[in-house]
Structure 1
Amino acid sequence: MSSNSIDIIIPSFRLDEQYLLPLFHLPKPAGWRFNYYVIVDNPTVQPGQEILRLAASGEIHLFINPENLGAAESRNKGINAGSGDWMLFLDDDIVADDDILFQYVKAIEAHPGSIGFIGLTDFPAPMNTFTRALTAAGLTSIFTIANRKDEFMWGVTANMMYNRAAMQELRFSAIFPKSGGGEDVDLPAQICLRNNARFICVKEARAVHPWWHDGQPHYKRFERYGEGMALLLPRFKQFTWYAFPNPVEGLLLVLLSAPLFFLYLSWEKWVILLLAIPLIDMVINYIRAYGMGFRELKTGYYMTLLRCSNEWGLFKTIMRAGKPGYFLKRINIDFTRPRHFRTNRWRIIKLVIYLLLIAALIFI
């Protein structure tokens, strides 16, 4: 293993030179060795001339997978190809600050025994209602965890550094969705638990991530994140807890209760209850967004669709795996030991609204 060396591992599908070339040419601290490992998970890609030149000269190590292996296996390929003391994972579409490598080296020199570091991955300012909904729903919050925490159990691989000695034989698991979702929670959490330590947050090591799909509405990514959360549940049972039903689970419970419901109420009232579940969620989401300064009514609508996409991914993965015992279960993604049941003011408000609605349907 090389002393004072950092492997920079970049999995890529697009090989977009407008993002990659600035990463290759980042200013580098003296006295440190940097090796780039670019793993292309797209066998049909045609590398540009400059990337081919850099690969031929040995300035980068370029690997093109013969088939689509997925994000986890591509990162593992980069890990196994290198031998540096430290491994910096970067996404292929970020714009890093010029001093990002200096900031990571500064962190290493200050904390040489650390298991690794979480950099700051910012997003541009919200550009439309959908990106404001993403922000209000908290779906970008883990990217900016370094702004709020000194240490944490995991961070996104868009901008995160690992100590090879702490990782040892652990690798990203291929059980998670190929396009990513859950594997960047699983591996660092395992490293933390094994080493009884946490990753140090380095907000000065900053990069900017563009809005996915140019900020246009899309939901598959967040469904995939839900799939990843479902796959984490059996791997970290000690950090799971039961929750109030989310809209997807609530709709299922109302559908399953239809025969019993019709014994006491008309089908029209049952339909009202069925329709009320997403509507109540939209209202509460809008109130949350309004409190954060996002005033468009459509924000609550997008937040609900985003949440339901995530929750549908969670639910379908649990059912497909034949693990109905995980229905209504959640995982503490900060990996603190939870109570058996958790609530907050929004869940309490929602429960009160549901109880009032059911009472109204029964007595009116």
Structure 2
Amino acid sequence: MLAVPDSIDIIIPTFRLDEQYLLPLIHLPKPGGWQFNYYVIADNPGVKPGAELQRLAKEGVIHLFINSENKGPGETRNRGIEAGNGSWILFLDDDIVADSDLLLQYVKATKEKATAIGFIGLTDFPVPVNAFTRALDAAGLTSIFTIAKKKEQFMWGVTANIMFKRSALQDLRFSPLLSAIGGGEDIDLGARVSMLHGTQFMCVKEARVTHPWWNHAQPHFDRFTRYGAGMALLLPRFKKFTWYAFPNPIEGWVLALLCAPLFFIFLSWQKWLIFLAAIPLIDMGINYVRAAGMGYRELKVAYYMTLLRCSTEWGMFKTMIGQGKPSYFMKRINVDFTRPRHFRTNRWRITKLVIYLILLSLLIFIK
């Protein structure tokens, strides 16, 4: 099917069909001379569309689909890709608030950079409102959402606000496996499109949306476990961009358990337990220093940062083992897809190594 020139398919996967967010997106101001087609796809067989969404669907303003079974966000977006034929494909989340000129900014970008494979918009978050959201910020878990503020181009962007050129996308689609996991599918597809064409997505910080804090800003960790699982699945897909790292807390525990007989040559079992308990506490201390450097001086922020990190790491570890790939233990991936050194370190890893060595020396030599 040939793509229709000067047309944008706007694909919004949703679970809730919440008209509070969807209707403002549907009614965004639109530049003249362009065709806009909305594909609202509910990944929830039991959801009931509201009266206004039903009216818009009946009048042909939107195309409304309800999956017969839960397929995950990636597969749901794939359904929208197949349903449309716009020359550009804009992915938006179902809970964002878009600036009123969002579509105007994207159309402007296509005119100024017509050869681009796509555009990464800016996805902002509100100001942190509690210790948990400050931890999200300090841990860098929102940084990729705002990549358009920092870069002119990048290999991939979050699907909350990104536009692909259909001709650049070709037959590539979101991975069903990553979609089922619920993490990493946006990295995977964007990187594959970029690599296929030997170029990157252009960043358009003026095309801005605001994303609410997940879970109403309340502490939760399952999302970040899924993110870690997705990262584990990306490692074998992009082997040449992987590298070995200093063990994270989850890997530190695993190593300490596997090496317990060696530890017992030098330590009593009580001291070995002290060492096990110290692993997350050392990480929390490092996180406190990092957060304090950003102006967040609450111990609770460091506590949540450590739990968030451990959640991601647990997702990576259990998925790696579940996939039968223990060789990826202590491996990481460069998500900017630059070629890494075989082993990387930084001041925080060096600091932790020094603290570990001092602690072991104290436990061994102090009777």
Contact 1:19–1:92 (Cα < 8 Å) also in 2: yes
CA distance in 1, matches of 2:16, 2:342: 44
User: Which one of 237, 248, 251 corresponds to residue 249 of structure 1?
Assistant: 251
Q: Show the counterpart of 1:295.
A: 297
Corresponding residue SS for 1:135? helix
Query: Counterpart in 1 of 2:344?
Result: 342
Distance 2:216 2:156 in 1: 26
CA distance in structure 1 between the partners assigned to 2:267 and 2:75 by the alignment: 53
| Aligned partners of 1:43 and 1:68 also within 8 Å | yes
Whether the 8 Å contact between 1:70 and 1:178 is mirrored in structure 2 is yes
Could you tell me how far 1:180 is from its partner in structure 2? Answer: 2.6
Identity of matched residues, %: 70
* TM-score scaled by length of structure 2: 0.98
Do 2:221 and 2:311's aligned partners in 1 also have CA atoms closer than 8 Å?
yes
> Which amino acid letter does the alignment assign opposite residue 361 of structure 2?
A
- 2:203 maps to a residue whose letter is C
User: 1:242-297 CA deviation, whole Å, 9 max, x = no partner?
Assistant: 00000000011111111121122111111111011000000000110000000111
Task: Describe how 1:1-364 pairs up with structure 2 within 5 A.
Answer: 1-178=3-180, 180-364=182-366
The whole-number CA distance in structure 2 between the counterparts of 1:355 and 1:155 is 39
Matched residue pairs, number? 364
Unaligned runs of 5+ in 1: none
Task: Sort the Cα spacing of 1:210 and 1:179 in 2 relative to 1 into closer, same or farther, 3 A.
Answer: farther
Kept in 2, the 8 Å contact 1:177–1:227? The answer is: no
Hey, which bits of structure 1, 4+ residues long, moved more than 6 A?
A: none
Alpha-carbon distance between aligned partners in 1 of 2:49 and 2:194, rounded to the nearest angstrom: 37
Distance 1:263 1:122 in 2: 52
For 1:348 and 1:119, locate their aligned partners in 2 and report how far apart those are by CA, in whole Å.
36
What is the rounded CA distance, in whole Å, between the counterparts of 2:186 and 2:115 in structure 1? 21
Query: Structure 1, residues 292-329: CA drift from partner, whole Å, max 9, x if none?
Result: 00011111100000000000000000000000000000
- In structure 2, C-alpha distance between the alignment counterparts of 1:71 and 1:258, rounded to whole Å: 42
Aligned partners of 2:74 and 2:303: how far apart in 1? Answer: 33
Map Cα deviations across residues 31-52 of structure 1 (whole Å, 9 max, x no partner).
1000000111001000000000
Q: Is the 8 A contact 2:12 2:93 kept in 1?
A: yes
Which string of whole-angstrom CA distances, capped at 9 and with x for unpartnered residues, describes residues 138-168 of structure 1? 0000000101010001110000000001110
Give the aligned residue type for 1:103.
Q
Do 2:139 and 2:305's aligned partners in 1 also have CA atoms closer than 8 Å?
A: yes
Any conservation in 1 of the 2:181–2:229 contact (CA below 8 Å)? no
- SS of the counterpart of 1:176? helix
Matches of 1:327 and 1:247, distance apart in 2: 13
- Please tell me whether the aligned partners of residues 177 and 224 of structure 1 are also in contact (alpha carbons under 8 angstroms): no
Q: Give the Å deviation of 1:347.
A: 0.5
SS at match of 2:238: helix
Equivalents in 2 of 1:48, 1:92: separation in Å? 15
**For 2:187, what is the secondary structure of its paired residue?**
helix
Letter in 2 for 1:22: P
SS of residue paired to 1:144: helix
For residues 297 and 188 of structure 1, the distance between their equivalents in structure 2, rounded to whole angstroms, comes to 37
Structure 1 contact 250–277 (Cα < 8 Å) conserved:
yes
Give RMSD over aligned pairs: 0.7
Q: 1:260 to 1:179 in 2, by over 3 A?
A: closer
Contact 1:126 1:132 in 2 (8 A): yes
C-alpha deviations, 1:310-351, integer Å up to 9, x for none? 000000000000000000000000000000001111011011
Q: Is the 8 A contact 1:71 1:179 kept in 2?
A: no
